[in-house]
Amino acid sequence: MSILVKNDISVLVQGITGKEGHFHAQKMLNYGTHIVAGVTPGKGGDWVLDGKIPVFDSVKTAIEATGAEASVIFVPADHAADAIFEAVEAQLQYVFCVTEGIPMQDMMRVKRYMQTSETQLIGPNSPGLLSPGQVKLGIIPGEIAKPGNIGVISRSGTLTYEIVNEISKAGAGISTCIGIGGDPILGTGYPELLELFEADPDTEKILIVGEIGGKFEENAVRYISQHNTKPVYAFIVGKSAPEGRRMGHAGAIIEKRAGSAAYKIELIKNAGIRLASSIEEIPALLLKS
């Protein structure tokens, strides 16, 4: 079974009538995810995805009608924070925010507001979660991964697809693959997910795919040193990134020494975590030990 969500979790999609939301809702549905509703203010009463999925004006009405437990958000950046607030207020268990480019002050208010709620936010700027053959929430392409015993936590999208694809080609598989997001302010960091992988009977090895900027990997290393017994592997990108420049992701910027790849790599090595020094080494490293 997947970490975090159960396989038959009922999911609503916020922004389902937008181009991205519609496309990925269809992909999730095809994968077998239990999509039960869409939410687009003003489009309540419509039916989408070949007339199979009802659209509601609000998250609250969608939950009342369908019993949805989780949301995947594709709402554009200027309204995405509001969409998260709405999902939290409606007491959904899990919110996966795919939207990139939410203003930071909006995210700080969201995060503060969420301190008193039970909702767990993944992202923003997250590709979501994929448990091969079981459930998919978000945009990770289902066809690249096979079921297996490796758990993956990453801050990026396509890099993760590349790595997961290489792992598949090498004959190994994935238990759950989850993206925490490429933004500087995130709902969920590595430690919470490391804890879930540690407890997950389907996961034997854990791979973290980190990058420059912030203290996310530092927090991961501290957690791993104290709590994890399963072998953890790591790969960090951004060795060649200059200081002070934002490398695509809003969170991928070296603002102080602690945000550099060199610093993170040193921490990882010192903690005895197995480090892949380049992308091509990853499958072999995972498979040999």
Partner 1 sequence: MRIQEYQSKRIFSHYGIPIPKGRVAINAIIADHIYEELQPDVVIKAQVLTSGRGKAGGIRLAKSAEQVEEITNDILSLTIKGMPVKKILVEEAIKIDQEYFIAIITDKDAGQPALMASKYGGMDIEDAVRENSSVMYSLPIDPLAGLLEFQVRSAALAVELPKQLWDEFTTIVLALWKLYEETDADSVEINPLVISEGDKLIALDAKVNIDDNAIYRHSELSEYFDLEEEDRMEYQAKKYGLSYVKLNGNIGCMVNGAGLAMATLDLLSDQGGKPANFLDIGGGANSEKVSSGLKILMQDERVKVILINIFGGITRCDEVAKGLLSVFENTPIEIPVVIRLAGTNAREGLEMLKDSGLIVAENIVEAARISVQLSQENKQ
249 is catalytic: yes
47-48: strand order across its sheet:
47-48, 53-56, 34-39, 10-14, 70-73, 94-97, 120-122
251 binds partner 1 (CB under 8 A): yes
- Any alpha helices (H) in the chain, and if so which ranges? 19-31, 59-66, 77-89, 104-114, 158-169, 190-199, 216-227, 261-270, 282-288
CB of 201 to partner 1, least distance (A): 28
Residue 123 CA neighbour count, 13 Å, CB half: 27
CB of 209 to partner 1, least distance (A): 7
CB of 111 to partner 1, least distance (A): 5
171 binds partner 1 (CB under 8 A): no
CB of 140 to partner 1, least distance (A): 7
CB of 17 to partner 1, least distance (A): 17
Contact region with partner 1 (CB under 8 A), list: 33-41, 199-207, 223-231, 237-245: 237-245
Report whether 174 contacts 152 (CB < 8 A): yes
**Neighbour tally for 132: CB within 10 Å:** 23
Contact region with partner 1 (CB under 8 A), list: 33-41, 50-58, 212-220, 222-230: 212-220
- Cα distances from 225 to residues 213, 215, 232, 239, 271, in angstroms, run 21, 16, 10, 24, 6
Between 1 and 275, name the residue whose CB sits nearer to partner 1.
275
Binding positions for partner 1, 121-140, rule CB under 8 A: 127, 139-140
End-to-end CA separation in angstroms for the chain:
24
Structure tokens at 2: 């997947």
Binding positions for partner 1, 149-168, rule CB under 8 A: 154-162, 165
Contact region with partner 1 (CB under 8 A), list: 5-13, 85-93, 193-201, 276-284: 276-284
Amino acid (one-letter) located at 259: G
* H-helix or E-strand spanning residue 128: strand 128-131
C-alpha 152/C-alpha 263 separation (Å) is 22
Binding positions for partner 1, 77-116, rule CB under 8 A: 77-78, 101-109, 111-113
20 binds partner 1 (CB under 8 A): yes
CB of 236 to partner 1, least distance (A): 9
Find the binder of partner 1 among 9, 247, 265, 285 (CB under 8 A): 247
Q: Are strands 174-179 and 53-56 parallel, antiparallel or unpaired?
A: unpaired
C-alpha 246/C-alpha 248 separation (Å) is 6
Between 36 and 49, name the residue whose CB sits nearer to partner 1.
49
Report whether 36 contacts 53 (CB < 8 A): yes
257 binds partner 1 (CB under 8 A): no
Residue of 34, 79, 227, 249 with catalytic role = 249
Between 36 and 121, name the residue whose CB sits nearer to partner 1.
121
Between 44 and 141, name the residue whose CB sits nearer to partner 1.
141
Which residues belong to the active site? 249
Residues in the site for partner 1, rule: CB under 8 A?
Answer: 20, 23-24, 77-78, 101-109, 111-113, 127, 139-141, 144, 154-162, 165, 182, 184-185, 209, 211-212, 214-215, 237-242, 245-252, 278-280
